[in-house]
Amino acid sequence: MDFQLTDDQRALRTGMRELLDRHFPRARLRAVVDADAARRGGAPAGGAGAPERVGGLDRVGGLDRGLWRELGAAGLFALRVPESAGGVGLGLPEVVLACEEAGRALLPGPLVATELAAGLSGSLAVGAAQGETVVTALHEGGTPVEHLGSADVVLVLGPTAVEVIPAEEAALSAEPMRSVDPATPLHRMTPGPTRRGQAEGPGRSGLAARLWREAALLTAAQQLGSASRTVELAVDHAKRRTQFGRPIGAFQAVQHLCAQMLVRAESARSVVYAAAVTEDPGDIAAATLLADEAAVHNARDCLQVHGGMGFTWEADVHLHLKRAWVRAGQWQSTAAAEEELAAGLVSTVETCL
């Protein structure tokens, strides 16, 4: 047993962090976010004139396809694609590490659906691995669909079959929402003839079931990245901000908020990484639960540590909270994950523990 990152995995993580810093620096994130604010008629932070189009956005409120292609070219979506098929040939733990970094950087885009589609063989989602084709996915139980307006195709995980349908077809039974997360446009799915793949997760089998579990895990990995990032943001702020003649980080009430944030993030990390190795449904359910909890609660505590600044559009804290809300329970609801683990308690023959 050696439950630590290998040297290669450490290098991959560093590489991913640098890649995202290069292609998606904070300015690019803020451009997306402020464009959304402008579109909604609210003045962007700083009160400057609202830009019509910012950065490489090719559709208002849409995904930056230029960025998506850059990341595709850098291999972000092909980590698990075999080398023989032009991919990087790594495993699920490596994709988890990459998703963690994406969550940390608040990278917008349908990353999980793209990762899944890129791993499919045949003609289902040609171009997904390269970032040429934008793929989103239908979720469970009426969860809104992200980036439908920018997507070319939609991944549908049915009870047994895996399908990819044109985005226009899915759009027939979808209506846009005013997304709480300025960087993640959402559509609400309405009941309609093309509404497929909405069966409950546990009923799935075969490939569809496997992809569903992987989606839950990769989502948890992004939540973990966000949860770790908000610890850093809170700690940095607590060291810099001075009140009563000392850094607020010297106040124990603030220290203990930060300490609990770290405990949440590290507990989530341990199960997310373990699930990446075992791919066990119970471990994945545990990862979903603890990573959702860590992302949402850490963002809340981070906001508290930032004081009034935490309540502004300008600080990034709200972006972590809102994205965490979007992702929480996205593939496996909290109730479903808890029920799955409860069922595991009574059916245990020999568990991993």
Q: Which residues contact other proteins (rule: CB under 8 A)?
A: 1-6, 9, 93, 231, 235, 238-239, 246-247, 249-252, 254-256, 258-260, 262-263, 266-268, 270-271, 273-274, 276-278, 282-283, 285-286, 289-290, 335, 337-346, 348, 351-353
Residue type, 108: P
Q: Closer CB to other proteins, residue 251 or residue 325? A: 251
| Strand pairing class (153-157; 135-137) | parallel
Q: Closer CB to other proteins, residue 152 or residue 283? A: 283
CB of 258 to other proteins, least distance (A): 6
Q: Closer CB to other proteins, residue 194 or residue 334? A: 334
Q: Closer CB to other proteins, residue 27 or residue 346? A: 346
CB of 215 to other proteins, least distance (A): 18
Q: Closer CB to other proteins, residue 312 or residue 348? A: 348
Q: Closer CB to other proteins, residue 29 or residue 235? A: 235
CB of 259 to other proteins, least distance (A): 4
Q: Tell me how far apart the alpha carbons of residues 112 and 103 are, in angstroms, rounded to a whole number.
A: 11
Angle formed at CA 143 by CA 139 and CA 146, multiple of 5 degrees: 75
What three-state secondary structure class fits 75?
A: coil
| Strand pairing class (174-176; 162-166) | unpaired
Q: Closer CB to other proteins, residue 19 or residue 238? A: 238
CB of 145 to other proteins, least distance (A): 27
CB of 216 to other proteins, least distance (A): 13
Angle formed at CA 240 by CA 234 and CA 243, multiple of 5 degrees: 100
CB of 32 to other proteins, least distance (A): 30
* Among the listed residues 21, 8, 22, the one whose alpha carbon sits nearest the alpha carbon of residue 94: 8
Q: At a CB cut-off of 8 Å and minimum separation 6, what does 117 contact?
A: 124, 125, 128, 133, 135, 153, 155, 164
Would you call 339 exposed, middle or buried from its count of C-beta atoms within 10 A (0-12, 13-18, 19+)?
middle
Q: Tell me how far apart the alpha carbons of residues 138 and 170 are, in angstroms, rounded to a whole number.
A: 9
Question: Are the C-beta atoms of 111 and 138 separated by less than 8 Å?
Answer: no
> How many C-alpha atoms does 130 have within 13 Å on its Cβ side?
7
Q: What is the DSSP string of 290-346?
A: HHHHHHHHHHHHHHHHHGGGGGSSSSSHHHHHHHHHHHTTSSS-HHHHHHHHHHHHH
CB of 195 to other proteins, least distance (A): 27
CB of 267 to other proteins, least distance (A): 4
Q: Closer CB to other proteins, residue 198 or residue 334? A: 334
